[in-house]
Chains A and B, each alone.
Chain A
């Protein structure tokens, strides 16, 4: 549905987007993830034909964003970072205006209007003046505006910013419902949001794509080699039991004497068996063993800060 190839955007000498390439299939939700200033908004602005790219191309629904800009714009619903509202208008008159410029056929305006008001739970606020609405409601009006013409592609720049937790969940559900017949790109720097809402993640840093994959793939890289262990040691020299197995690293977290907790890193699965056999032989009692999966936070930090994690698993245990 969306194909981006070698997209580059220069602001003077500053490379905001650097040879970005990715694809989004129909019905997919792609989360654009990256620290502030990574080029998320710029990428979205290029895709919505608001900014020109310096180099590279992109197509939306088969139309080139430069050659067939109008066709692309017909098929896109866009929620910019700050919802562009006219504060003096009422919700209904604003959406009516948007329906007009987004080419909703005259006879369908009313039904589309009722539909998006329903979906964004704005029906009770339809006659309010936008300027008097709270931030969360304005965000919903912004979203309603992006949906009014039932576009094939939705581009949402930080859709949940400024919302309270209940509203965030509502909007997330809404986006997931939409993905049945829409293709969605949303940007965020909130990782839990990507985990909750997106099937696919593209991590961007300093304009470059550092990873694009499904959330499951990104968070489960390779064998699990890191464990959090809670232990009732049988002897005082419990550390040596573990240290005797070659390749094992141990970092003490807390507790002393009767109950200790530590992170255990083993180089491979065989060593794992040895370590635990050795510990059991010495009479230590395990009370807890938690295998660590890299959280998206860790993956994100690793990829954007440039930390190289050992053995494919980074950071600490959750």
Chain B
């Protein structure tokens, strides 16, 4: 009930401001443009480039969608209201996470038009990797939101929150390159933290439980940290 209230308010506030509309249209425009260019140039019936592009554009817009989640409440003192209500920090974080996640799901559902367009030209589409790619995209969104929500809980300024989450996302995007510099098991272990490695396996059609667990764990860890930050707010 309380999570639902927070979820509803959060989702409403996305649509009260132009943010959601701008982000939606720019995502669809950029991804659509890349989809068109690649399809015309390559003439291949595969959605692999689409998933790569979609994930990267999502990475660029994600900080914009998550930055206000908690920092806005801090700046406008409404956090005082939430924390003096019988709501736990975990409920606040969960409600906000779900609201943002719902927004991403809508975006992802709208992007079903790309496989549909492709299907119009090539009936011999391989649906397996497309479905697993979409599973990857959904999991990746959750991971992006988790990190962004944590960044937002740290800062009172939305710009700072956006910078922190952007830096964090980029870092976890390319951390896999460590394995080229550091030989042996340590390099391997660090590069396992890379979001893109797990994502690209899903896009290729490899639905390994390890990949799914990685994304879920990644999300939960950041959400947990955000909860702790909110709790600590009370003890300062």
A binds B: yes
Residue B174 is within 8 A (CB to CB) of chain A in the complex: no
Residue pair B77, A84 in contact (C-beta under 8 Å): yes
Residue pair B5, A101 in contact (C-beta under 8 Å): yes
Closest to A142 in B: B81
Residues of B near A74 (CB, < 8 A) are 86
B62 smallest CB distance to A (angstroms): 22
Closest to B13 in A: A88
A79 smallest CB distance to B (angstroms): 10
Residue pair A101, B85 in contact (C-beta under 8 Å): yes
Residue B116 is within 8 A (CB to CB) of chain A in the complex: no
Residues of B near A100 (CB, < 8 A) are 1-2, 4-6, 8
Residue pair A73, B85 in contact (C-beta under 8 Å): yes
Q: Which of A72-127 contact B (CB under 8 A)?
A: 73-74, 76, 78, 80, 82, 84-89, 93, 97-98, 100-103, 106
Given A50-B83, A102-B85, A103-B86, A89 and B235 contact (CB-CB distance below 8 Å): no
B7 smallest CB distance to A (angstroms): 10
Contact flags B40-69 to A (C-beta < 8 A → 1, else 0)? 000000000000000000000000000000
B229 smallest CB distance to A (angstroms): 16
Residue B26 is within 8 A (CB to CB) of chain A in the complex: no
**A-B residue pairs in contact (CB < 8 Å), sample of 12:** A51-B236, A84-B76, A84-B77, A84-B78, A89-B13, A93-B9, A100-B2, A101-B2, A101-B5, A102-B85, A102-B86, A103-B2
With A50-B84, A73-B85, A80-B77 given, can you name 20 additional A-B contacts, CB distance below 8 Å? Answer: A49-B83, A49-B84, A49-B234, A50-B234, A52-B234, A70-B86, A84-B76, A84-B77, A85-B76, A86-B9, A89-B13, A97-B5, A97-B9, A100-B5, A100-B8, A101-B82, A101-B86, A101-B87, A103-B1, A106-B1
Residues of A near B209 (CB, < 8 A) are none
Residue pair B84, A76 in contact (C-beta under 8 Å): yes
Residues of A near B12 (CB, < 8 A) are 89, 93
Residue B80 is within 8 A (CB to CB) of chain A in the complex: yes
Please tell me the size bucket of the interface on A. Answer: 20 to 34
Measured CA separation A45–B236 after assembly (Å): 12
Residue A48 is within 8 A (CB to CB) of chain B in the complex: yes
> Is chain B's binding surface mostly helix, strand, loop or mixed?
helix
Residue pair B78, A85 in contact (C-beta under 8 Å): yes
Contact flags B107-122 to A (C-beta < 8 A → 1, else 0)? 0000000000000000
Closest to B95 in A: A101
Interface residues of B (CB under 8 A from A): 1-2, 4-6, 8-9, 12-13, 16-17, 76-88, 234-236
Residues of A near B13 (CB, < 8 A) are 86, 88-89
Residue pair A84, B16 in contact (C-beta under 8 Å): no
Measured CA separation A285–B7 after assembly (Å): 78
A-B contact count (CB 8 A): 73
Residue pair B4, A73 in contact (C-beta under 8 Å): no
Residue pair A84, B234 in contact (C-beta under 8 Å): no
Residues of A near B77 (CB, < 8 A) are 80, 82, 84
A178 smallest CB distance to B (angstroms): 18
Residues of B near A89 (CB, < 8 A) are 9, 12-13, 16
Measured CA separation A219–B9 after assembly (Å): 49
Measured CA separation A51–B235 after assembly (Å): 6
Q: Which of A27-60 contact B (CB under 8 A)?
A: 45, 48-52
Residues of A near B84 (CB, < 8 A) are 48-50, 73, 76, 78
Measured CA separation A84–B81 after assembly (Å): 6
Residue pair A80, B80 in contact (C-beta under 8 Å): yes
Residues of A near B5 (CB, < 8 A) are 97, 100-101
A146 smallest CB distance to B (angstroms): 10
Query: Lowest 3 A-B CB distances belong to which pairs?
Result: A100-B5, A88-B16, A84-B81
Measured CA separation A253–B77 after assembly (Å): 51
Measured CA separation A70–B77 after assembly (Å): 20
Closest to B92 in A: A101
Closest to B84 in A: A48
Closest to A78 in B: B84
Closest to B233 in A: A50
Residues of A near B87 (CB, < 8 A) are 101
Measured CA separation A78–B97 after assembly (Å): 26
Residues of B near A93 (CB, < 8 A) are 9, 12
Checking B8, B88, B234 against A97 with a beta-carbon cut-off of 8 angstroms, the contacting residue is: B8
Measured CA separation A101–B83 after assembly (Å): 10
Measured CA separation A235–B77 after assembly (Å): 68
Measured CA separation A52–B13 after assembly (Å): 31
B59 smallest CB distance to A (angstroms): 27
Measured CA separation A103–B228 after assembly (Å): 23
